[in-house]
Amino acid sequence: MSAIGAKPAAGSAMDMTATIIGIIILLVIIAATYFLVGPGMAFMALIGVIAGGILIGFGVHFVPVGGAPAAMGQAPGIATGVAMLAAGAGLAGLFGGAWAAELGIVVATVTGAVGGGLMMAITCMFVNFIYVFGMGIPSASGKVARDPITGDTQAEFKSQGTEGHGLPFVSYVGGVIGGLFGGAGGTLIYLMLLEVYTEELPGMMNALPGQILPIAVTLAGIFAIGMFLVNAVLAAYNITGTIEGPHDPKFKRFPRAIVASAIASAVCGMVAIMIVAL
Amino acid sequence: MESIVFGIGITALAGALATVAGAAENTESDIGSQGDPNSQVQLAPQMGYLHRIFNKAIAGEPPAWGLWIALGAGIAWAFMAMQVNPILAIVLGAALATFVQGVYATTAYLGRTASLAKFGQPVFVDVLKSMTTVTMAHAFVAIFATVTVCHLMNAALGHPFPLPLLGLVWGIALGAAGSATGNPFYGKERQYQNQKYGAGVPIAASGNIVRYAEAGERNSLDNGWFSARLGGPASGVCFGLIVFLELWRTVLFEHIAAGWGAIIIGIIIILVFMVIDRYIEVWARKNYGPYGKPAEEASS
C-alpha cells in the first residue's frame, strides 16, 4: 500500500495485529534466552532490563515537551525534543543510581528515580522562571479548560494566536513523574547488566573480580545509556512531536509504547547479556 | 568528618563550574541557533525574509553536547592514562573537542544555508568566519568546565563511571537543561522582538524574525549579547543547581539510613522546587492577569 492510500494514524488505538506479532517476538526472545542461559541470573537480568525499558517508555509520556513551538511561546511544554529531554533527566538519574549501586537494588533504583525527578523539578521550574520573569508570559494549557490538579482556568491565559505556553502545574508534576520513571528505568537496566557482567567477566577473561570491575561498570553504563535512548526515541515516535503531560489526549497512547519498549528492550537486553553469558 | 568537608568543597566547586558551563553552553547555542529556534532561522528565507543569522543546528542540543563533552573527556582521560597532569589533560581534551565543534559548526552552517539557495538565501563567508570562532570560544569554556566537573566526580568523589561515560551523561544533561531554559528566551524574546512583549508569538507570524539591528543587519553576535543577559545565566544556574544538589544530597546524606537519607532529602528538594514553581505560576496569573475574560463569563 502506498503512503497516500494508507489509513490515517489511529490516535490512541492499538493495532491488534501488530501488537500480537510484537508480543510473539517478545515471548520468542524470552524463551530463546531461557533456553540458551537457563533460569539463572542472566535470565532474570533480561526480565529486569525489559522492566526498565517499560518504565522508561511509559515515563517519557509524562514529560511535557513543546519542541520548536514552545521556543516561540506558541505551545505549552519545554522547548526541546521529547527523547532528548527524557534522556537528560534519565541519565542524571542513572548517575545517582550507579553511585548507589552497592547499597542494593531497591535503594539504588529509588535513588536513580529521585535523581531524574530532581533534574526535571529544577529544569521545569526554570522554564516557568524564564517564561514569567524573562518574557512576561503566564502558563496556560491548550488541551484542558482547567488544570486537573489546581483547578485553575486556562483559556483566558492563552495569548492570541497560540495554543498556550509555559508549564501549567499539571505539566510540571508530569515532568517530575517522567523524570522519576526515567531515572528508575535507566538505573534498573544498569544494575541488571552490572550484575551479569561482574559475575561472568572474571571467568571469561581469566582475571580477578576487582580487575574486571571497571570494564563491567563501563559496559553496563554504555548499554544502559544506549537502551535508554532506544526507549526514549520509541516513545517519542509514539508521541509524534509534542505532548503537554498526563492530561494530554496523546498520553492515552502509552500502551503502544509499553509493548514497543518491551520488545526493543528484550532484543537489546538479549544482545547485552549474550556477549558474556554464552 | 574531613572527608565530608572535602566532599562539600568539591560539590561547591563542581556546582560553580557547572554554572559557568551552563551559561557558556546556552550562549554558544544561541549564537549558533543550535536549539529549537533554529526552525525559525531556517523558515525565514522560505517566507521571503533573508537574513544574516548563523544556523548550525544539524543535531539536537543535548546529543551535540553529549558528543563534545564525551570527546573532551575521552581525550583528557587518554592523556591522564599517559601520566599527563590532569589540568593540562583536560585543557588539551577540551581544545581538541572544540576543534571538532568548529568543524561541525562550519559544515552545518554551509549545509543548512546552501539548502536554502532556491529561496535566494546567500551563504555569507564573513558570517562563517566571525561566528564560528565565537561559538568555538564559548564551546571551549563549556567543555572545559563540564569535563572538570566530571573529573571531580570521578577522581575526588569516587563515582564508578569512567570519565568519558560521565562526559556523555553530563553532556546530554547539560544540553537538555540549557535548551529547556534558554531556548524560549532566544526563540521568542530575541528572534521575535518585533512582537508584543508578554504574549506568545502568533503562529501566523512564524518566520518573520527580526533581521535588522541598530545599525545594519542583525547578526548572531547581537543575539549572543542579548542571550547572555538572562537566558545564559538562567541556564547556568539551572545546570549548576542540578549538579550541586545531586552531589550535595549524595555526599552529605547517603550514609544516613543505608542510602535512604539521600532519597528523602532528594524528595524534599523536589517538593521545595514544586512549591517555588507553583508560586511563580500564581504570581504571574495575579500580576499579569488574563488576556481575555474567563471562558465561563465569556459564554454567559
What grid cell was written down for B103?
A: 568543524
Q: In whole angstroms, give the CA distance from residue B20 to residue B209.
A: 29
pLDDT at A8: 46
Q: Which pLDDT tens digit goes with each residue over A99-137?
A: 999 999 999 999 999 999 999 999 999 999 999 999 999
Give whole-number Cα distances, A233 to A1, A265, B203, in Å: 26, 12, 27
Pure H helices in B122-259: 125-151, 163-184, 220-227, 231-253
By C-alpha distance, the chain A residue nearest B290 is: A157
Q: Is residue A98 domain-resident?
A: yes
Q: Is residue A266 domain-resident?
A: no
Distance between B81 CA and the closest CA of chain A, angstroms: 14
Q: Is residue A119 domain-resident?
A: yes
Residue B118 above 80 pLDDT?
Answer: yes
Q: In whole angstroms, give the CA distance from residue B194 to residue B44.
A: 14
Distance between B129 CA and the closest CA of chain A, angstroms: 27
Q: Which pLDDT tens digit goes with each residue over A239-258?
A: 888 899 999 999 999 999 99
Average pLDDT, whole number, for chain B?
Answer: 93
pLDDT at B296: 55
The answer to whether A37 touches A170, Cβ cutoff 8 Å, is no
Nearest to A129 among B187, B199, B234 (CB): B234
Which residues, in sequence order, are CB contacts of A105 under 8 Å at separation 6+?
A188, A191
Query: Can you state the percent helix, strand and coil of chain B, rounding each to 5?
Result: 75, 0, 25
- Choosing among A126, A198, A215, which should be mutated to test the B contact, i.e. which has the most B CBs within 10 A? A126
pLDDT band at A11 (very low <50, low <70, confident <90, very high): low
Q: Which pLDDT tens digit goes with each residue over B11-30?
A: 999 999 999 999 999 999 99
Domain housing A64? 59-193+235-259
Q: CA-based Rg of chain A, rounded to a whole angstrom?
A: 20
- The least confident of A3-17, B23-37, B98-112, B184-198 is A3-17
In this complex, is the C-beta atom of A106 within 8 Å of any C-beta atom belonging to chain B? no
Q: In whole angstroms, give the CA distance from residue A238 to residue A182.
A: 16
Q: Is residue A227 domain-resident?
A: no
Give whole-number Cα distances, A278 to A203, A204, A270, in Å: 12, 10, 11
Name the amino acid, one letter, at A48: G
What grid cell was written down for B51?
A: 537574513
Q: Is residue A223 domain-resident?
A: no
Q: Is residue A245 domain-resident?
A: yes
Taking an 8 Å cut-off on Cβ atoms, the answer to whether B188 and A71 are in contact is yes
- Choosing among B77, B154, B188, B245, which should be mutated to test the A contact, i.e. which has the most A CBs within 10 A? B188
Distance between B143 CA and the closest CA of chain A, angstroms: 17
Residue A4 above 60 pLDDT?
Answer: no
Q: Note the ipTM here.
A: 0.94
Q: Is residue A270 domain-resident?
A: no
Q: How many domains does chain A have?
A: 1
Q: Is residue A45 domain-resident?
A: no
In chain A, which residues have their Cβ closer than 8 Å to the Cβ of B238? 122-123, 126
Distance between B177 CA and the closest CA of chain A, angstroms: 6
Distance between B253 CA and the closest CA of chain A, angstroms: 12
- Choosing among A65, A78, A84, which should be mutated to test the B contact, i.e. which has the most B CBs within 10 A? A84
In chain B, which residues have their Cβ closer than 8 Å to the Cβ of A221? 161, 165
